[in-house]
Structure 1
Amino acid sequence: MKRLFNVLVAVFVVGAALYFFLNRTDKSEGEAPVLAGAPSAAALLVRGEYLTKAADCIACHTVPGGKGQPFAGGLPFVLPFGTIYSSNITADPETGIGKWSDDDFVRALHDGVRADGKRLYPAFPYTSYTALSRNDVLAIKAYLFSLPKVSQPNREADLGFPFNQRWAMGFWNAAFFKSSRFEADASKPPAWNQGKYLATALGHCAECHTPRNFAFAMDAGNNLAGESIQGWRAYNITSDAKNGIGAWSDAEIASYLTTGHAEGRSSASGPMGEAVEHSLQYLKPEDASALVSYLRTVPAKAGKNPIEVDAKAPWAVAASAAAPAANTAEGHEQGLRLFAAACASCHQWNGQGQQSTNASLLGTRGVNDPDGSNVTQMILQGVKMRVRDQEVYMPAFGKAYTDTEVAALANYVIAQFGNKQGTVTPEFVAKQRAR
């Protein structure tokens, strides 16, 4: 019995030592590339505001639609194992982070540990923010602390056992996370390093665009090859010419990032629309160009469920702006009627769009995706964002149409403008509604 006890004690000691060894943190401060919008000589709050926007903090920490106060948290993230709610990051001392020290804030972003010592879930992208320099992290903190305080209690995560055991995140971190700062590649131009810092640390593009493994950790071997998140497809943005953005021009990529639209390529909506509205549109042209230069070099990957874009879908090309192509009606009678009633006046029958270029459909990946995730979500939720003093708007039809009608409309749009056979079902639409 004593021998068994000694063995158990030894196992516990070794296990604990291994646990803390694998969760050791990098105490280096790191030297971040100097961004055009946040020069080192700028005032602290000026730098902090630019960096906070580049990091898109407001998108996750604010309930949209005027239902929540800026940075007060409460936005739900529905995950395979439960729901997590973003936290209040205003300087309110009781419900926010007003009592956090500089070291507390840095530890949260670098190591995923709260001021009370409890571990954060990686829905908060500390796995990307860990690469931020300490100076940039503290500039963000200074800006957040300059904003109005909001008293709003945080909502506890709705997770079942064992996912509700925050301490167990230590094992996840040991397997899938490394606390480390950004290291510039001396063999690359300064602009490339600036772009990589923007994409990997501040903008944390991989958090949405990279596939997840069985443990919900990012699959580094398929970096930026596309993933489905919150009911939307975050598309492949590797340099793959067929399935990614390798065939896009620099101007097209920059336009999409900073305005949410690239002619003949895509119009942003959903989470990407939020990223454009709250973050990317504010990048200085030099920083946007740097981001493009880095994305150009991301290794090409086909990704899962690749989308082949038919930029010259015969049905749409054959149609005039004012009349449908008759040969798309077969099997899509209901969808055609719905499109005629609610969509054609803005999108036009040839998909070129009217009044706003954002309404163009031809050549976009959404209408070329038989799965129809993004087309369905756009029908259900609509689009509403403000970019460069322009209101981009599409009404939501979720309350007006049944699941069967939404499925019919989505499949018609995919056939008409993508030359594909859509697979959207009423059951799928119901799931999309629930996200």
Structure 2
Amino acid sequence: MRRRFRGSLAVTALLLTTASSFAGDTDPQAFTQIERGRYLTILSDCASCHTVPDSSQPFAGGRPIETPFGNIVAPNITPDPETGVGSWSDEQFDAAVRKGIGRNGSRLYPAMPYNAYTKMSRDDVLAIRAYLNTVPPVGNAVIANTLPFPFNIRTAMRVWDALYFKEGDYRPDPKQSVEWNRGAYLVDGPGHCGACHTPKTFLGGDKTDQYLQGSYLQGWSAPDITNNSRLGLGGWSKEDLVSYLKSGHNRVTAATGPMGEVVTLSTAHMTDPDLNAIATYLKSLPGKTEQASPLSANEPTMAAGAAIYRDQCSACHGLDGKGVAELFPSIADSSMARSDDPTTSIRIILRGARSVGTSAQPTAPGMPSYGRQLDDNEVAAVLTYMRNSWGGAAGAVAADQVSKVRLDTALRPD
């Protein structure tokens, strides 16, 4: 329920600005709070929602956030006193971020992930406020609630909060290491990874029994990021995960789509200790356990898919599906390719994709679109082949699944 892919150089430059840039005659203690707030803003990925892509007005709001119930427009959080948060009290700001209560006392929608941000401390939130007070104020009045009836009735959020919101700071697990606890705090708190990666109920609340096991949002299937060996990160080392978060690339895959924006605006700018903490925590999560049997290579769909793969895909990804490390993803090692929900794989074949470029990996290889070259049956066949080759196993992709994604992506500008 969070974001669409596209970055903003203006936002990245602002996020990387250090507290020393705001020196002037300010108290040194304020520098520390501002710098801490700047980093917490990166951890919380505030720029992704509150900045219109490619605009020169960071945090000025106006970006539509797609939800299953309609679009919500992210508000202006610059210090403009009329249309931003400049005239808000610290109490009002903290209540909005950690409790989901707006300035006028109305309930916020969980497109603003206050159910995750509640794990931050009040000091954390006020540090973010201190940093936001240093960004250029922008006069931009935003009407946030654009949901259709009856979802536009905010009082209904009292029921949602009662079902899905548990207020309170993160409490460390004394049985776990300091690094593990830091990772849990980052994933469940400011990073709000569950907003995309935890499946949702029909009311949009987290299915806690399927924590971080993959979900669908905004035309993409977010993958399982537990340590599940077949569908999740079980085939990745801790170093693979750190490399992916820092550079957008590793020996297995590259970040595209909404995750590309997360890398560009957030994880690429995190400290190495924090990235290692996230990796330690995620690798500790077992996820669901299940087995699958591969389809026979003699199946007609597998034979057709093999021919299409050799003709269209093997030049980059290799006949063995291994690709080229840090350049072309390894399909043979990809859990995403074998996801229970093949939406992202279908979408990438139909529309192509561009990986992210970061300071650690400035090259951003892309994959061409095959949407015009391959029909729905052919896309289904080649994906079925890739999902059941090189030791992998997953259900066959049906042509009507491809048709559905083709129709959905045709209506999307991104």
TM-score, with structure 1 as normaliser: 0.76
How far did 1:329 drift?
8.7
Larger radius of gyration: 1
Residue aligning to 1:385: 356
Contact 2:346 2:402 in 1 (8 A): no
> Counterparts of 2:228 and 2:323 in 1: how far apart (Å)?
28
Count of aligned pairs between the two proteins: 375
How far did 1:360 drift?
3.7
- Superposition CA RMSD, Å: 3.4
How far did 1:116 drift?
2.2
For residues 85-116 of structure 1, the C-alpha deviation after alignment (integer angstroms, 9 at most, x for no partner) is 22222222222222222111111111101212
How far did 1:204 drift?
0.9
How far did 1:203 drift?
0.6
Contact 2:48 2:265 in 1 (8 A): yes
Which residue of the other structure, out of 268, 273, 281, is the alignment partner of 1:286? 273
Residue aligning to 2:397: 422
Greater CA drift, 205-214 or 251-260:
251-260
Residue aligning to 2:48: 59
> Counterparts of 1:208 and 1:426 in 2: how far apart (Å)?
24
Which residue of the other structure, out of 126, 133, 146, is the alignment partner of 2:121? 133
- Identity across matched positions, percent: 35
Residue aligning to 1:320: none
TM-score, with structure 2 as normaliser: 0.79
- The change in CA–CA distance for 1:238 and 1:330 in structure 2 (over 3 A counts) is closer
For residues 233-258 of structure 1, the C-alpha deviation after alignment (integer angstroms, 9 at most, x for no partner) is 21112233333323432212222222
> Counterparts of 1:286 and 1:168 in 2: how far apart (Å)?
41
Residue aligning to 1:179: 167
How far did 1:336 drift?
5.5
For residues 179-225 of structure 1, the C-alpha deviation after alignment (integer angstroms, 9 at most, x for no partner) is 21111222322112111111110111111111112321111222112
* Residues 220-231 of structure 1: pairs in structure 2 closer than 5 A: 220-231=208-219
- Unmatched 5+ stretches in structure 1: 1-36, 316-326
Does the alignment pair 1:331 with 2:319?
Answer: no
State the secondary structure of the residue aligned to 2:363.
Answer: strand
How far did 1:402 drift?
4.1
For residues 48-72 of structure 1, the C-alpha deviation after alignment (integer angstroms, 9 at most, x for no partner) is 11111111111122233x1573222
Does the alignment pair 1:43 with 2:13?
Answer: no
State the secondary structure of the residue aligned to 1:171.
Answer: helix
* Residues 35-434 of structure 1: pairs in structure 2 closer than 5 A: 43-64=32-53, 66=54, 69-264=57-252, 266-302=253-289, 330-332=303-305, 340=312, 346-353=316-323, 356-369=326-339, 371-379=341-349, 380=351, 382-389=353-360, 390-394=362-366, 397=369, 401-402=371-372, 405=375, 408-409=378-379, 411-416=381-386, 418-419=388-389, 421-423=396-398, 424-434=401-411
> Counterparts of 2:181 and 2:222 in 1: how far apart (Å)?
24
AA paired with 1:361?
I
